[in-house]
Amino acid sequence: MDFTIPEETQEIIKGLKQFIEKVVLPLEKENHELLYNERNYYTEDGRHHPKVEELRKIVRMESAKAGYYTMFGAEELGGEQLGPMTALLVQEAINISYPFNKLVDPIVIPSPFTNGLSPILTGLKEELKERYLDGIRSGEKTLCFGLTEPDAGSDVWSIKTNAVKEGNEWVINGSKQWITNAAHADYCMLFAVTNPELKAQRKGGITCFFVETSTEGFSVDSVIPVMGELGGEACIISIDNLRIPDENVIGEVDKGFSIAINGINTGRLGMSGKCIGSAQWALKKAVEYAEIRKTFGKPIKEHQMIQAMLAESAMDIYAARNMALNCAWKIESSKKQPRKEISMVKAFCTEMMGRVYDRAMQIHGGVGISNELGLEQGYRLARIVRIPDGTSEIHRRTIAKSLLSGDLTF
For residues 139 and 61, what is the distance between their CA atoms, to the nearest angstrom? 5
Give the residue from 198, 74, 221 showing the smallest Cα distance to 133: 74
pLDDT band at 401 (very low <50, low <70, confident <90, very high): very high
Q: What are the sequence ranges of the domains in the chain?
A: 7-113+126-138, 143-254, 258-404
For residues 208 and 169, what is the distance between their CA atoms, to the nearest angstrom? 14
Query: What number is the average pLDDT over the span 198-210?
Result: 95
Q: Who's near 267: CB < 8 A, 6+ residues apart? A: 111, 112, 113, 389
pTM: 0.93
pLDDT band at 115 (very low <50, low <70, confident <90, very high): confident
Give the residue from 225, 220, 221 showing the smallest Cα distance to 38: 225
69 residue type, one letter: Y
Alpha helices in 208-338 (DSSP H): 256-292, 304-334
Query: What number is the average pLDDT over the span 150-177?
Result: 95
More confident residue, 409 or 315: 315
**pLDDT higher than threshold 80 for residue 263:** no
**pLDDT higher than threshold 80 for residue 67:** yes
**pLDDT higher than threshold 80 for residue 55:** yes
CATH number of 143-254: 2.40.110.10
For residues 142 and 115, what is the distance between their CA atoms, to the nearest angstrom? 5
Per-residue pLDDT at 288 = 97
Query: What number is the average pLDDT over the span 155-175?
Result: 96
More confident residue, 274 or 266: 274
**pLDDT higher than threshold 90 for residue 134:** yes
Per-residue pLDDT at 332 = 87
Distances (CA, A) of 287 to 2, 96, 219: 29, 14, 48
- What is the Rg, in whole angstroms, of the alpha carbon atoms belonging to the chain? 22
Residue 94: its H or E element: helix 84-97
Per-residue pLDDT at 114 = 85
The strand pairing partners of 234, in sequence order, are 180
Helix (H, G, I), strand (E, B) or coil at 232: coil
Give the residue from 246, 237, 178 showing the smallest Cα distance to 213: 237
**pLDDT higher than threshold 80 for residue 113:** no
Tell me: the pLDDT tens digits for 290-324?
999 999 999 999 999 999 999 999 999 999 999 99
Per-residue pLDDT at 268 = 87
More confident residue, 81 or 260: 81
For the chain, give the percent of residues with pLDDT over 70.
100
Helices and strands: H and E segment counts in the chain: 13, 10
Pairing of strands 162-166, 169-180: antiparallel
For residues 410 and 402, what is the distance between their CA atoms, to the nearest angstrom? 12
Distances (CA, A) of 273 to 269, 318, 332, 353, 402: 6, 12, 16, 11, 24
Per-residue pLDDT at 269 = 87
DSSP 341-405: HHHHHHHHHHHHHHHHHHHHHHHHGGGGGSSSSSHHHHHHHHHHTTSTTS-HHHHHHHHHHHHHT
For residues 279 and 288, what is the distance between their CA atoms, to the nearest angstrom? 14
Pairing of strands 187-193, 143-146: parallel
The CATH H-level superfamily of 258-404 is Butyryl-CoA Dehydrogenase, subunit A, domain 3 (1.20.140.10)
Query: What number is the average pLDDT over the span 27-47?
Result: 96
Per-residue pLDDT at 379 = 96
Contacts of 35-40 with C-beta under 8 Å, sequence gap 24+, read 35/102, 35/103, 36/102, 38/229, 38/230, 38/231, 39/230
For residues 150 and 161, what is the distance between their CA atoms, to the nearest angstrom? 11
Query: What number is the average pLDDT over the span 231-239?
Result: 96
Helix (H, G, I), strand (E, B) or coil at 336: coil
Per-residue pLDDT at 265 = 75
Question: Is the Cβ–Cβ distance between 114 and 106 less than 8 Å?
Answer: yes
Question: Is the Cβ–Cβ distance between 269 and 342 less than 8 Å?
Answer: yes
Tell me: the pLDDT tens digits for 146-160?
999 999 988 889 999
What architecture (CATH level 2) is domain 7-113+126-138?
Answer: Orthogonal Bundle (1.10)
Per-residue pLDDT at 13 = 96
For residues 203 and 215, what is the distance between their CA atoms, to the nearest angstrom? 30
Q: What is the mean pLDDT of the chain?
A: 94
Question: Is the Cβ–Cβ distance between 143 and 118 less than 8 Å?
Answer: yes
Per-residue pLDDT at 107 = 87
Question: Is the Cβ–Cβ distance between 27 and 59 less than 8 Å?
Answer: yes
For residues 111 and 104, what is the distance between their CA atoms, to the nearest angstrom? 12
Tell me: the pLDDT tens digits for 330-374?
988 887 789 999 999 999 999 999 999 999 999 999 999 998 899
